[in-house]
Chains A and B, each alone.
Chain A
Amino acid sequence: MNEIESETTKLSSDKPYIQFQNVSKKFGNFTAINDLTLDIFNNEFFSLLGPSGCGKTTLLRMLAGFEKPTNGRILLEGEDISNIPPHLRPINMMFQSYALFPHMTVEKNIAFGLKQDKLPSNKINQRVDEMLELVELTEFSKRKPNQLSGGQRQRVALARSLAKRPKLLLLDEPLGALDKRLREQTQFELMNIQEKLGITFIIVTHDQEEAMTVSSRIGVMDSGNVIQVSTPNNLYEAPATKSVAEFIGNVNLFEGVYKGFDDIGTKLKCEHSESIVYSSQSIDAKNGSKIWLAVRPEKLEIFKSPPDYKYNILKGTIIDIGYGGSFSTYHVKLPNGNMISVIRANRERTSEKSITWNDEVYLHWSSKSAVVLTE
């Protein structure tokens, strides 16, 4: 927890590149963004992650200039850009639908932005060739968008949005239309390109795996606000709230009552266990107040006979096993009816003492791998 925190503070010590200052956006009666404040730093690969309708796209569109904030200011390098129209902003966007001009060739699409800057034509050609090379589409330069595959169109859109060397690149669900394998491959390409060009990227996505893979930091959004901003690792291992824990990956939540803190950690009395359970994390809570303990499925161990631990043991019955090749997911039913999921790596090809349906099993987690949450 502490070492992760220090990583974030190191970033924060830089001067912020983009600042949202108390930004609100209302569409009629609907509040899309509610008093949001957020700093993004130079050279970051920042993700805005959240369910659909959480306001992440509105935030991106405000950066591009397609929407004006109802309240608050947006600063780029300390300069207020809230009222600058989109065609005058040094910011480019890669659209979810790619928005390639269908009546222009790949080359012309990429050159479009450069032509608006009235660059000399040899300079434009040079930059277009550079971009085509970057996205490996040189031999497709004369094609029209409808003669390209989905993956190629995505790369044209990327090249077009990068051609002007923007101060900031916005990506709206850039990989949403690609199939899984291509998406994974493109994620790494995006990271390489970002590293090579040193441009700040802000990406909007609802795919938490994608956000975790590509970004240096993630802002988790819900109902018009940022709930938590942190590194992928920190978000997963130290979520600030239940909703973040549930949105990022899978989690087992135990509701209980705070019973103080001792040398093992925070003590929690849960409804489904007679003994006290522990998390080594300390929190600021009143004795007897309602708190939650969150344990990730892969952090639970599973035993066929009672293990040698003194605490953090639950007894249950195997209801379901999902075989996933490299790992298996076990659904364990506790005596009170709660379902717990456990993920274990399949380390041996066949196991004679393997766990099967209806087995009585014991679950254990280390107090270090459990997180306590107050909201």
Chain B
Amino acid sequence: MKNNMLSKYIFNGRNAVIAVPYLWLLILFLFPFLIVLKISFAEPIIAIPPFSSFFHWDGSFWPTIQASFYNYVFILEDSLYLNAYLSSLKIALISTLITLVIGYAIAYSITKAPTRWKGLLLLMVILPFWTSFLIRVYAWIGILKTEGLLNLMLLSLGITDQPLTIMNTNLAVYIGIVYSYLPFMILPIYANIEKMDGSLIEAAADLGCRPFKTFWKITIPLSIPGILAGCFLVFIPAVGEFVIPDLLGGTETLMIGKVLWIEFFSNRDWPLASAVAVILLAMLILPIMYYQKSQEKAIS
């Protein structure tokens, strides 16, 4: 009897199929996250691994737990961390907005391109993915540095008589983030506009609406699901971005990803680095949940 129940409710095909992604998330996301969470409550020590242990077995069946909120208090008290978080959010937000404007324009123009060009244009959007992300960011150094391609071109064309200082500034970071994340903005917006019923645009024109107004009143409102998807896909990873600010940014660039790297590798303070990561996740969980909800709404 009990066996029957088991096979009926647990081992049926439907559950088995659902179990695969859940298992994946459990092993590769939730479990590592719990480890990070555990480390964030520890104290740094000089040992391998470099943190105090969480569980203590002192003969009884249940272990005692040794947790310290010191790292969290430290982060909240030191304005460096708060500034790094805020600066990361600001850089991510501004980059997302720039990416949105450029990405929307590109996505929109691809949908308006002749059908035989669409495949090629989309291929060009995703083509950079075939090269390593790191190499592409390195390539920007060659373009943006004082004696780089951009300055060479501007000087030889006589547009400027002094080389521009772009490299190692926040501007270089914005350029790097916008460039790197642009495909993540273009693809969801393209998919959204492409499936939009073209007769809606015709209907608006038929009812006396000018083309530009139709774009604002019909096309933009109906592409909000695509815009939201693109913005979250850019904003969430951009907040924690490390490679771009590290390679292109300068001393003025303060981003939490870089702080995290310094705590982890330079200071070897794993517990503090873990706490930084946990707070970052807590900050992003709200937009992630909002994104989830908007996706569910878009599906229904």
User: Which residues of chain A have a CB within 8 Å of any CB of chain B?
Assistant: 64-66, 85-88, 91-93, 95-97, 99-103, 112-113, 116-117, 160-161, 164
Q: B207 touching A92 by the CB < 8 A rule? A: yes
B202 within 8 A of A: yes
Q: 15 pairs across A/B with beta carbons < 8 Å? A: A65-B205, A86-B202, A87-B206, A87-B207, A87-B211, A88-B208, A92-B206, A95-B199, A95-B203, A99-B203, A103-B221, A112-B204, A116-B209, A161-B207, A164-B207
A66 to B198, CA, bound (A): 12
Cα–Cα, bound, A264→B222 (Å): 69
Q: How far is the CA of A65 from the CA of B202 in the complex (A)?
A: 10
Find out whether the CB atom of A160 lies under 8 angstroms from the CB atom of B207: yes
Chain B residues with Cβ under 8 A from A97's Cβ?
Answer: 197, 199
Name the A residues within 8 Å of B213 (CB-CB): 116
Docked CA distance A100–B211 (Å): 17
Contact B208 A117 (CB under 8 A): yes
Whole-angstrom distance from the CB of B176 to the nearest CB of chain A?
A: 36
Chain B residues, Cβ within 8 Å of A103:
221-222
Q: Which of A91, A101, A161 contacts B200 (CB 8 A)?
A: A101
For the complex, what is the distance from the CA of A88 to the CA of B199, rounded to whole Å?
17
Query: Within the complex, which residue of A64, A87, A95 is in contact with B208, where a contact is CB–CB below 8 Å?
Result: A87
Contacts A66-B205, A116-B207 known; 10 new A-B pairs at CB < 8 A: A85-B205, A87-B207, A87-B210, A95-B202, A95-B203, A97-B199, A99-B199, A101-B218, A112-B204, A116-B213
Could you tell me which residues of chain B, from 179 to 214, have a CB within 8 Å of some CB in chain A?
197, 199-200, 202-211, 213
B203 neighbours in A (Cβ, 8 Å): 93, 95, 99-101
Tell whether, in the assembled complex, residue B208 and residue A164 are in contact, meaning their CB atoms are under 8 Å apart: yes
Contacts of A95 in B (CB 8 A): 199, 202-203
> Considering the chains assembled together, what is the distance between the CA atoms of A99 and B197 in angstroms?
8
Q: Within the complex, what minimum Cβ distance (angstroms) separates A186 from chain B?
A: 20
Number of A-B contacts (CB under 8 A): 58
- A93 adjacent to B206 (CB under 8 Å): yes
Q: Provide the bound-state CA to CA distance between A101 and B203, in Å.
A: 9
Min CB–CB distance B114 → chain A (angstroms): 12
B206 touches A86 (CB 8 A): yes
B214 and chain A: residue at smallest CB distance: A87
Give the total of B residues in contact with A, Cβ under 8 Å. 17
Assembly CA distance A292 to B106 (angstroms): 61
What separation, in Å, do the CA atoms of A93 and B199 have in the docked complex? Answer: 11
B203 to chain A, nearest CB (A): 4
Q: When the two chains form their complex, are residues A112 and B209 in contact, meaning their CB atoms are under 8 A apart?
A: yes
Q: By the criterion CB–CB under 8 Å, are B200 and A87 in contact?
A: no
3 smallest A-B Cβ distances: which pairs?
A113-B207, A116-B208, A99-B203
Shortest distance in angstroms between A104's beta carbon and chain B's nearest beta carbon?
Answer: 9
Chain A residues with CB below 8 A from B200, complex form: 99, 101
A161 to B202, CA, bound (A): 12
Please name all residues of chain A whose beta carbon is closer than 8 Å to the beta carbon of B202 when the two chains form the complex.
64, 66, 86, 93, 95, 99
- Smallest CB separation, A210 vs chain B (Å): 21
Smallest CB gap from A116: residue in B: B208
In the docked arrangement, what's the CA distance between A88 and B209, Å? Answer: 9
Closest beta carbon of chain A to B143's beta carbon, Å? 42
Most buried by B among A64, A66, A116: A116
* Chain B: minimal CB distance from A98 (Å): 9
Scoring B residues 248 to 275 as 1 if CB is less than 8 Å from chain A, else 0, what string do you get?
A: 0000000000000000000000000000
| Alpha-carbon distance between A117 and B213 when the two chains are bound, in angstroms | 13
Report B201-259 residues with CB < 8 Å from chain A CB.
202-211, 213, 218, 221-222
Query: Which chain B residue has the least Cβ–Cβ distance from A90?
Result: B208
Do A86 and B221 form a contact, CB below 8 Å, given A97-B199, A99-B197, A101-B200?
no
Closest A residue, CB atoms, query B201: A99
Q: Which residues of A contact B222 (CB under 8 A)?
A: 102-103
Q: Using known A-B contacts A101-B218, A103-B221, determine if residue A86 contacts B199 with beta carbons closer than 8 Å.
A: no
> In the docked arrangement, what's the CA distance between A102 and B218, Å?
9
Question: Nearest A residue to B221 by beta-carbon distance?
Answer: A103
A283 to chain B, nearest CB (A): 45
| A112 cross-chain contacts in B, Cβ below 8 A | 204, 207, 209
List the B residue with the shortest CB-CB distance to A97. Answer: B199
Q: Is the CB of B209 within 8 A of A87?
A: yes
Would A86 and B197 count as touching, CB distance under 8 A?
no
How many angstroms from the CA of A92 to the CA of B211 in the assembled complex? 16
Q: Are the C-beta atoms of A113 and B208 separated by less than 8 Å?
A: yes
Residues of chain A with a CB closer than 8 A to B199's CB: 95-97, 99
- Give Cα A64–Cα B201 distance, bound, in whole angstroms: 13
A92 proximity list for chain B (CB < 8 A): 206-207
Contacts of A66 in B (CB 8 A): 202, 205
CA distance A87 to B210 in the complex (A): 6
Q: Which residues in B have their C-beta under 8 angstroms from that of A117?
A: 208
The answer for the CA separation of A134 and B115 in the assembled complex, in Å, is 42
